Structure 1
């Protein structure tokens, strides 16, 4: 197994001073799978104070739990003393830890067998719990009693599902049974930790697998009750051949692994159950679900502690995803660019295509999306003005010429001028725009 020079240097230094040391956990798992580890963790029999003493550049990042960050060649590595965890009182973290000399005891406290292996060049692979075998079987299995593991840290239930869709492994029968039994413990986990795992599920190669496991285990109704309401929801429309949940999963799978895109795919139809009604022919309709979905997804994303930039991107895409124009005029497309933003407009088409391809065939609207995209590409390449910032006049010009003060009237005039320029870009010169502003201001007063 390949060990980076810096990791080997740390392990060698610890052995030279009479201690054992191994690279451990995910880096061992990924190395055995032929993947490049994102980072390398090291476990050792040396106490934290000794680690600090042996290495010139260290940071006591988790001294209470025995973790010291050792910096070699400007690269940080977490080095943690072998430990066993004390009592878990909140299904999140141990009250305290006890340092031990035996690596087996340290590995025994870990979550899954595939993460409970250690390695160094001296002793080779340390695998007390069958992790290598489970890697070959492609199974996620708890170390020891799964009920105990999940009661120690309920987030491990989400991690099991996340590893399952990242690696395309199955979850061991007893482990999955335990997740179903203990799923309500997820209520004790912070929104931030839940969000991090959901993002990793969304960005995996098999996100739909993850969300089916979330639903099957009972976790979905705890963390995303709004999405649970979509499960099995018959849309009663010839335009769809799947229920809302299965349609949503199909859209996610057909969307590139960019977080804002997959979040938009996840929530694009989230408000359909709230907007649903049937007509006299028992055909289903969801008028306004995109606008309602914009509001509802904002609530969900804030609850999960997403940042404002992500919320703005996702909700814009949700609001606009139904906007597929039959014979779009340039002005209408320019307004669309103005609403959505140059940075998101092609992402909107990506969502629309995934949405169409996840509905019932034939997929006639694909041609409309292709045409819109082609036209918008031409518009962007022509450098025509698309926002009030690109007008040949600004607010100061208008206030000076019309003797106005900042306020609603000024905003209305600038909006009017932009509308005129979107219709005819040749109007975008200062003299013409001042004249148009004066004319509009006169009508406002009248």
Structure 2
């Protein structure tokens, strides 16, 4: 078996060999190569010590010298070269307190998380696979190297990584590995929110994110990481328009949405407010009045907790809040207001979410109202009519020049003028708007 190595990777390995050291491409790049996937990056492992690596190569960066990792820079690309090592005790269930360098490749591979990530390769020695990672690739299995309990105690994030790899590759998690995740689920609390966020994002951006969230639930991690979403599991909607509980509906919407993190986050949390808003009428039918507003609020809390950036938090909040907007009877001025509220750049996201939401309901599906809304928005944009405050032919300085005092009255007056312009674009002329503003000021 031959695995293609990029020329710079081959150069690094050969250069180390010429200096009497062994070296291999290792980890995810070998896994992806065997799966016929394009590796995102290439890591190299060697018995050369960090000081040797620095001496051998002209352009290096000691990015993790404490743990034996040196970045070798070739043609403006960095390649991480790490000395064979044995990890010491993990007192924080996340990072080794210290590492011991070793001359054994097998000992280095033994410390890695899963068998499919514990393979190494070079042209001279071929595939090095002491833990049968290739067999697990062929059997579509995620299995820890050695004792899963020890692996998860070393690094609790590996529990989430197991589920992420299972989702991305559509592999099954080995029974002993899955049982150990369930047994050690509380240790996920030792992992930083940033690292949890990153793994959840990768799950969300997989082809079928529902796989991952089902695994998170069955492994007991969902109730710890996203307790608000866990409440939706098995929540009977008692509504003739729904043939799924809130969680199953959410997963269908998630898989039906486009592969975009903003949309996927909105899909994941779009109905998360339903348990808080559930009522049953006299006919035994369930209703969730105001759940979009409640869901937007909850999503904001979750995304802040997970350390997402402010733009993502704000956009997801808007999409969830507006996802139930009545599409059937909207007139042009109301559509303009909607565009103004969500931002024209976010409108494709809203339509995407609404289409996915319909697919999560009980068939038959009717997309005609969404198509109508899309066409109306297209016409409005093409007409280049004013849609926001920046499109007004008047601004705050103009209001001050005609006698308005600085303060909140400036903003409120501009908003009132925009309301008039949204209804009648012909009013968007500076002299007309100043005349209207003057009348408002002196009446």
Shared fold (TM-score greater than 0.5)?
yes
Equivalent position SS for 1:343: helix
Q: Which residue of structure 2 aligns with residue 343 of structure 1?
A: 345
Q: Distance in 2 between matches of 1:15 and 1:206?
A: 43
* Residue 334 of structure 1, CA deviation: 0.3
> Is the CA contact 1:251–1:355 (under 8 Å) kept in the aligned structure 2?
yes
List aligned pairs for 1:18-417, cutoff 5 A.
18-364=20-366, 366-401=367-402, 403-417=403-417
Q: Distance in 1 between matches of 2:422 and 2:97?
A: 63
- Deviation track 1:331-351 (CA, whole Å, cap 9, x = no partner) reads 000000000001001210110
Q: Which residue of structure 2 aligns with residue 432 of structure 1?
A: 432
Equivalent position SS for 1:144: coil
RMSD: 0.8
* TM norm structure 2: 0.98
5+ long unaligned stretches in structure 2: none
Q: Distance in 2 between matches of 1:61 and 1:249?
A: 40
* Residue 297 of structure 1, CA deviation: 0.6
The alignment of Structure 1 onto Structure 2 pairs a total of residues equal to 441
Q: Distance in 2 between matches of 1:268 and 1:439?
A: 44
Q: Distance in 2 between matches of 1:9 and 1:15?
A: 10
Q: Distance in 1 between matches of 2:353 and 2:163?
A: 25
* Residue 324 of structure 1, CA deviation: 2.5
- Deviation track 1:391-439 (CA, whole Å, cap 9, x = no partner) reads 11111111212x1122122212111110000001011111111121123
* TM norm structure 1: 0.98
> Is the CA contact 2:404–2:441 (under 8 Å) kept in the aligned structure 1?
no
Q: Find runs of 4+ consecutive structure 1 residues off by over 3 angstroms.
A: none
* Residue 280 of structure 1, CA deviation: 1.2
Q: Distance in 2 between matches of 1:199 and 1:250?
A: 17
Q: Distance in 2 between matches of 1:235 and 1:408?
A: 44
Equivalent position SS for 1:156: helix
* Residue 362 of structure 1, CA deviation: 2.6
Q: Which residue of structure 2 aligns with residue 423 of structure 1?
A: 423
- Deviation track 1:10-56 (CA, whole Å, cap 9, x = no partner) reads 00011111111000000000001111100000000000000000000
